Amino acid sequence: MSNKMSPHFLTFQLSLLLIFLLCTTITTTIAQPAPAPGPPPPTNITKILEKASQFTTLIRLYGITKVGDQINTQLNNSQQGMTVLAPPDNAFSSLAPGVLNSLNDQQKDELIQFHVLPTFISTAQFQTLSNPLRTQAGDSTYYNFPLNITTNGTSVTLITGVVNATLQNTIYTDGQLAVYQVDKVLLPMNLFGPQPPAAAPAPEPEKKKKKKTGDDDTPATDSTVSSSVDLRIGMHGLMGGLIGFIAMFYL
């Protein structure tokens, strides 16, 4: 009997080895757990607006005022959420020439902060909000930074006292940040509205005029009355003494 293996037997053994190795590789691959998903990237309002396009002017103002950095910091360090009202480039271009350039740095900051609400507001929540809305610009009294809304079905109108703007569409929302496109730049009363009327000065108290001595209607004081009585008593005493002295010569 020959000890030499036939070619068919060798091929069979190699096939078994290959099947074993293949099964081992598949089993190892299946047994390995899938890697855990990494943390989501931090929210960046500038990248959101860049992706949406047509917000070049707003992005530039975010950089000048640092409001973009403030939004990102607050979103990534708070659970309160935020809502951004974003006017597109054509809304800024429809402003009167030189309007933005006429504002100083603080006024530009107030203008952009006026477009940020410090809580997350869904489109449905606009139907139940109370006026005035509080913005990042602060004081919501009439001559400062009031922002009111009216709704008609799904239509939302934003009223500043200077302009009425319409909420057009949702650019981004994730339950923490909502970004809505508006058709006009929201111009606050403090920067673009009529100034409050100046308060009228308080009337000065009337000063009593001093009357000249000897006026007929000058009221008599206690000292004047006392002097007059003393003078009358003195005159009566003098006359009585004089009459008595004359009577001595005739008696």
Tell me the domain boundaries of the chain.
45-192
pLDDT in tens, the chain (251 residues): 445 556 666 666 666 666 766 666 655 444 456 666 666 678 899 999 999 999 999 999 999 999 999 999 999 888 889 999 999 999 999 999 999 999 999 999 999 999 999 999 999 999 999 999 999 998 888 889 999 999 998 899 999 999 999 999 999 999 999 999 999 999 999 999 987 777 666 677 666 655 555 555 545 444 544 555 454 545 555 555 555 555 455 44
- Report the topology of domain 45-192: FAS1 domain (2.30.180)
Q: What's the token pair of residue 248?
A: 């001595």
Is the CB of residue 120 less than 8 Å from the CB of residue 81? yes
Is the CB of residue 86 less than 8 Å from the CB of residue 56? no
Cβ-count burial of 41 within 10 angstroms (0-12 exposed, 13-18 middle, 19+ buried)? exposed
- Rounded to whole angstroms, the Cα distance separating 196 from 190 reads 9
